[in-house]
A and B are shown apart, each in its own frame.
Chain A
Amino acid sequence: MSLWLLVDPHLWQQTLVYAAPLIIAALGELIIERSGVLNIGIEGMMLVAAVTCFVVTWQTRSAAAGIVAGMGAAAILTLLLVYYAVALGGPQITVGLGLYVLGVGLSSLLFRVVFGVRTSPPSVQTLAPVPLPGLADLPVVGHVFFHQTLLTYLAFLLVPLVHLALFRTPWGLRLRATGENPRSVDALGISVERLRYGAAAVGGLLIGLGGAYLPIVLTGTFSDNMTAGRGWLALMLVIFGRWMPFTALGGALLFAYVEAFQFKAGIVEKAVPVQFLLMLPYLFALVVLVRIYRGARAPQALAVPYDREARG
């Protein structure tokens, strides 16, 4: 196998395109977790967003309407989670798993109700790449970095924006404090509930955008379980990134790189079992996660229901 394969510009372009939905969803999850709520229903939420985006785009012929609808659908589910977690003080892991299963079933049902059984799959127009003037013509890097869709650019733009929001604004400080020590936030007269609902709404919108990315950028259609574990990967990326946006981005790029690499390697290298190649990105994620998790510190109040009346 040629070493050139490792630095093939097309491999890097694929890395950016396929890392984008992971990083968008991971940022959404990161915001929610920073507020002290653990959302493990992200896979199901992305699926509901994907099907909603596809159905609305199909009906309205407007990608923008589809994306907004997909984002909204996921936000409703995250708000539902936070309602259980905040207002009812329910177990977040149980509710999150319930929402995951709900999302898997609901997305499939919705698609079936709208489209039924066909012999040709319904499809919508995917977003076209928008070359950035001046930059897209640069040799090699121009096509790799600056010949992407608007959503792909947005994914990478969101990383510094979320970082700034979390670490350079009063809202971010309050949100992080809510995830670490909600009692101290409450003592300052700031509503913990409102912050958590706000984080869930923003995070849900981003998770929805990550789900909508799949049909509207990559496939032009919806299929059952099309997220294929990307929601769980986004959840892992938050831990991988130690709840920091830029390190989560690094994880998304690494995973997408290995995933794209195994398809390229599969063409030229037939001696390696195909099952091993298909497993490679997940094996890589597991190994890296085990290494990275050492010393990682989750927000102190993550998954702990806040009761202002409790003695503590």
Chain B
Amino acid sequence: MDRRSFLALTLAGAAARPGLAAAQAKRKMAMIMPGPIQDADFNAVGYLALQQVAKTYDLQVSHSESVVVADAERITREYVTAGYEIVANHGGQFIPIMNKLAPQLSNATWIQEASGRLPNLPKNVWNIGRKFHQGFYVLGALGALATKTDRVGMVCGVRLPDVITSVNSVAQAIKDVNGKAQLLYNWVGDFNDPVKARQTAEAQIAAGADFIVVFVNLGLSGVIEAVKAAPRPVLLTTFYTEKWDLAPKNLAISLLFDFNKPYHEIVGKILKGERTGYYEMRPGSGMELSEIRNVPPGVGDKVRAIFKDVVGGKAIPEVLDKTP
């Protein structure tokens, strides 16, 4: 047998293998993320949700992490050209790219996360509206009730819409629950810089804060170190995942996000041909409270009641155009 015949037979044999044929037939989904998947936080939970839908719907999945906005268009085009029919943008910063590409690349379907319902949504885009501010209202209420110095700190990453609305709703909660308390907040300029996050938290603790609401990802480690080194007891909150083991004496609560649920539901609908829609993540729908710790039982009960009110539809102003 000459070399050409051998190659032809090998290729024919490979093509005839059922496993390979099945792999070729798999539908493809990609996810674009703004940070690294080992952040043990926002990007990690997105990645895990992607793996979960891959398993559930037998999809071929791929992801790109630490994607800056300037690269997002190129990466998205590469995925769509390579046959990826679902592109999930796990971050609100990619909305302009989605708005540009979705009408052009109409064979693909997008899943776009945002801080709420997007206006003029293209017909091939699913919109996940994450109502962070509703969840952070509850964290702010806990801070206002638990503080002994009447100063609640808030360490914020980047001035994105989700964060701005959350700062405002924490301020609102403090006003509603403890009129004497004051909000001290700073912008770190990065969600994943633990050194700067620690400096920020230390500045707030020095200014009197004894409860810190955290809106950074990997920066949390720096906040935890600041809290542990503080001259007086300081409590803090986290979100996305439960991280109580990192600071058992200081962690008061986690606002838990379940991205599996919206992705599972939306991808299922896309595969059935439903290519546009809106899914809201809010307290009671993909956002839950962890156990409340390190505060008096009465405070925990009040906070659970507030959470229940929010789940029940309590109106919380969504202020986006200014900060307190």
Chain B proximity mask over A115-126: 1 for CB below 8 Å, otherwise 0: 111111111001
Cross-chain contact B199 with A223 (CB below 8 angstroms) = no
Give chain A interface residues in 240-289, CB to chain B under 8 Å: 259-260, 263-264, 266-268, 270, 274-275, 277-278
Complex Cα–Cα for A283 and B194 (A): 22
Cross-chain contact B194 with A267 (CB below 8 angstroms) = no
> Which of A111, A225, A259, A270 is B199 in contact with, Cβ under 8 Å?
A259
Q: How far is the CB of A63 from chain B (nearest CB, A)?
A: 14
> Which of B48, B199, B204 is A117 in contact with, Cβ under 8 Å?
B48
Give chain A interface residues in 122-148, CB to chain B under 8 Å: 122-123, 126, 129
- Name the residue of chain B whose CB is nearest to the CB of A114: B38
A214 near B: Cβ within 8 Å?
yes
Given that A221-B221, A263-B199, A263-B200 are known contacts, is A120 also in contact with B193, CB under 8 Å in the complex?
Answer: no
Cross-chain contact B203 with A118 (CB below 8 angstroms) = no
Cross-chain contact B192 with A223 (CB below 8 angstroms) = yes
> Which of B36, B193, B198, B246 is A123 in contact with, Cβ under 8 Å?
B246
Cross-chain contact B203 with A263 (CB below 8 angstroms) = yes
- Name the residue of chain B whose CB is nearest to the CB of A18: B199
- Name the residue of chain B whose CB is nearest to the CB of A129: B229
A157 near B: Cβ within 8 Å?
no
B196 near A: Cβ within 8 Å?
yes
A224 near B: Cβ within 8 Å?
yes
Chain A proximity mask over B168-212: 1 for CB below 8 Å, otherwise 0: 000000000000000011110110111110111011101100000
Stretch at the interface among B8-16, B39-47, B273-281: B39-47
Cross-chain contact B159 with A219 (CB below 8 angstroms) = no
> Which of B47, B200, B206, B220 is A8 in contact with, Cβ under 8 Å?
B206
Q: How far is the CB of B212 from chain A (nearest CB, A)?
A: 12
Cross-chain contact A266 with B187 (CB below 8 angstroms) = yes
> Which of A14, A268, A274 is B187 in contact with, Cβ under 8 Å?
A274
Cross-chain contact A123 with B221 (CB below 8 angstroms) = yes
> Which of A18, A116, A121 is B220 in contact with, Cβ under 8 Å?
A121
Cross-chain contact A224 with B192 (CB below 8 angstroms) = yes
B243 near A: Cβ within 8 Å?
yes
Cross-chain contact A119 with B44 (CB below 8 angstroms) = yes
Cross-chain contact B225 with A214 (CB below 8 angstroms) = no
Cross-chain contact A10 with B40 (CB below 8 angstroms) = no
Contacts of A225 in B (CB 8 A): 192
Contacts of A221 in B (CB 8 A): 194, 218, 221
B222 near A: Cβ within 8 Å?
yes
Interface size on A, residues (CB 8 A): 40
A218 near B: Cβ within 8 Å?
yes
Q: How far is the CB of A200 from chain B (nearest CB, A)?
A: 27
Cross-chain contact B37 with A223 (CB below 8 angstroms) = no
Q: How far is the CB of B239 from chain A (nearest CB, A)?
A: 12
Which among B45, B187, B199, B204 has the highest number of chain A CB atoms within 10 Å? B199
Complex Cα–Cα for A219 and B225 (A): 6
Given that A120-B40, A274-B159 are known contacts, is A223 also in contact with B206, CB under 8 Å in the complex?
Answer: no
Q: How far is the CB of A309 from chain B (nearest CB, A)?
A: 47
A228 near B: Cβ within 8 Å?
yes
Complex Cα–Cα for A35 and B219 (A): 38
A300 near B: Cβ within 8 Å?
no
A308 near B: Cβ within 8 Å?
no
Cross-chain contact B195 with A112 (CB below 8 angstroms) = no
Q: How far is the CB of B108 from chain A (nearest CB, A)?
A: 26
B321 near A: Cβ within 8 Å?
no
Since A219-B221, A263-B186 are in contact, a sample of 17 more A-B pairs with Cβ atoms closer than 8 Å, ordered by chain A residue number, is A18-B195, A118-B40, A119-B41, A120-B243, A120-B245, A121-B218, A121-B220, A121-B246, A123-B221, A214-B195, A221-B194, A225-B192, A228-B190, A228-B193, A228-B195, A266-B203, A267-B207
Residues of A participating in the B interface, judged by any CB pair closer than 8 Å: 8, 10, 14, 18, 108, 111-112, 115-123, 126, 129, 214, 218-221, 223-226, 228, 259-260, 263-264, 266-268, 270, 274-275, 277-278
Q: What are 23 inter-chain pairs, A to B, with CB distance below 8 A?
A: A14-B199, A14-B202, A108-B36, A112-B38, A119-B44, A119-B240, A119-B241, A120-B241, A122-B40, A214-B195, A218-B194, A219-B198, A220-B225, A223-B192, A226-B195, A228-B195, A266-B200, A266-B203, A267-B184, A268-B207, A270-B324, A277-B187, A278-B189
